Structure 1
């Protein structure tokens, strides 16, 4: 009976160790305060957003920005790196938002690739951005532009994916290419992604246990960044909001669910998508640095080759953070909007 009791006790302890704590919902008794404007979505959740650029009533172009892993609405690449003069001269309005579970947006335990696309469509409708709008995503946010091209392409005027992360388990990847890149990753990230893909219910435990190294990306290890990245990052200082807001509701519904969704089993393969703009009424651009340690250029080249309608821009001697380089976002903006220099 003692052995049975110990076995049950260990099983219960193991079960508890895999169960994440409940999130600290913004606006609740034990949660952070609500400080940002929010919309109420179809299922009752709230989505926080932040506007930047010219007033939308006067804007010629309207862009929704999708932040990356560990980011928030405060990580709007246009506010951080685009020239204010260019934004005003072109008449650009941008809105960034907290993806579910990040910042001040309510978590979505039922989150899927499609649900995020519908969240963005509803954000555009409630903010009255019109029938067509542009989307720009960076890093993990770039990865999540693919579902937008799949599910709401009829609402898009164009899209830009900046250093988009890639899921190694998309079925179109030849195993030799996928494995070659995968096994060049840090061992701890190989294991972290394996868990997120094959055993998602263990993701919380894996990234909080102390026996083995967890994800280098989740722990924000500087070892992930290339020399060009380090040079760029030395010129930027994060604001207090950028540091504290992303994970304030808890890491499980933000970082960990991001890993499970992004590296899980996708219901579609981006490399099988058809051209969302067959009549040339818009364009899709992928920008990639050739010294990106997060998203190896080999995989990005393969994706671009499989999708001839993609406008692929490869930048020499550039890392994952190239979008923050001087003048880069002005170039991305003018290319996406098909605006010629005066």
Structure 2
């Protein structure tokens, strides 16, 4: 089955004002409607989505390696706020005007941080991680995730070191496949998709586990922005069959109540991999906001 993974049409990197490099990949027409992808945990810029629909839809899809992953230079102590600053430079460098964003899984808070900072004009959160440290989830996290949240709250430096000790391409692949429901496992183990996914994992850890560890600290800590202040359209996409304990515990229900511009979509036939099984629907909805 074709899940829309393709080699990037264009690859590159540029130098930020502080000297760090930021790597990017693009698919679709260079003059298309810009859509920034914030990838999931421990994957690089190379794992895109909708490769079978972006050309027809006129979408210029841009994915970025977060600092310390892939070819982007490390930025110890980075935050969701500093991420928004990096992306502001990317938009200027790549001449991206009025972009929207997609945040998949652990990429969700990174995409929403851009919306909170006024950098994008619409967001699609797909199988997104939530503000897991928020008090509204105090009693709904599984013990392992609760331990991670508590560890970051108590001693973020020690927690980051612990995440780095765990992090590797093989460990993340094993975790993804063994915890996925059948609907997702069929996607992840498809030979073409698996090859692209493993390549993105290997590339993400090419500098070691520090980038993944920092991302995880940010995902398990409190968001530094207020979702109630987001003013652009936000679509929250979740699959009813999604069993990931680090996605939203209530499939975005309470987040949709916090974001005044949010619309929630829960698909009964989908799991956590819906970015690839329902790419056309996600992009069609996003484009309806910006065109």
With over 3 angstroms needed to count, the CA separation of the structure-2 counterparts of 1:218 and 1:196, relative to structure 1, is farther
Summarize the alignment of residues 118-129 of structure 1 with structure 2, pairs less than 5 Å apart: 118-129=85-96
- 2:205 counterpart of 1:250: no
Deviation at 1:147, TM superposition (A): 0.9
Q: Could you list the per-position Cα deviations for residues 52-88 of structure 1 after superposition, in whole angstroms to 9, with x for gaps in the alignment?
A: 11123xx2x1111111111110111233xxx2xx322
Q: Could you list the per-position Cα deviations for residues 292-320 of structure 1 after superposition, in whole angstroms to 9, with x for gaps in the alignment?
A: 22224515111112334202111114221
- Contact 1:196/1:259 (8 A) holds in 2: no
With over 3 angstroms needed to count, the CA separation of the structure-2 counterparts of 1:88 and 1:289, relative to structure 1, is same
Q: Distance in 2 between matches of 1:166 and 1:296?
A: 5
With over 3 angstroms needed to count, the CA separation of the structure-2 counterparts of 1:45 and 1:298, relative to structure 1, is same
Q: Distance in 1 between matches of 2:172 and 2:240?
A: 19
Q: Which runs of 5+ in 2 are unaligned?
A: 1-10
Count of residues in Structure 1 that have an aligned counterpart in Structure 2: 271
- Contact 2:241/2:272 (8 A) holds in 1: yes
Give the structure-2-normalised TM-score. 0.84
Summarize the alignment of residues 262-273 of structure 1 with structure 2, pairs less than 5 Å apart: 262-270=219-227, 272-273=228-229
- Contact 2:126/2:236 (8 A) holds in 1: yes
Q: Distance in 2 between matches of 1:98 and 1:54?
A: 20
Q: Which residue of 2 aligns with 1:226?
A: 181
Q: Distance in 1 between matches of 2:276 and 2:153?
A: 31
Q: Which residue of 1 aligns with 2:4?
A: none
Summarize the alignment of residues 108-257 of structure 1 with structure 2, pairs less than 5 Å apart: 108-130=75-97, 132-151=98-117, 153=118, 155-171=119-135, 173=136, 178-182=137-141, 185=142, 187-207=143-163, 220-235=175-190, 236-239=193-196, 241-252=199-210, 254-257=211-214
Q: Distance in 1 between matches of 2:88 and 2:174?
A: 32
3-state SS of paired residue (1:124): helix
Q: Which residue of 2 aligns with 1:54?
A: 29
Q: Rg bigger for which structure?
A: 1
3-state SS of paired residue (1:49): strand
Q: Distance in 1 between matches of 2:147 and 2:274?
A: 27
Give the structure-1-normalised TM-score. 0.72
Q: Distance in 2 between matches of 1:338 and 1:269?
A: 25
- Contact 1:198/1:264 (8 A) holds in 2: no
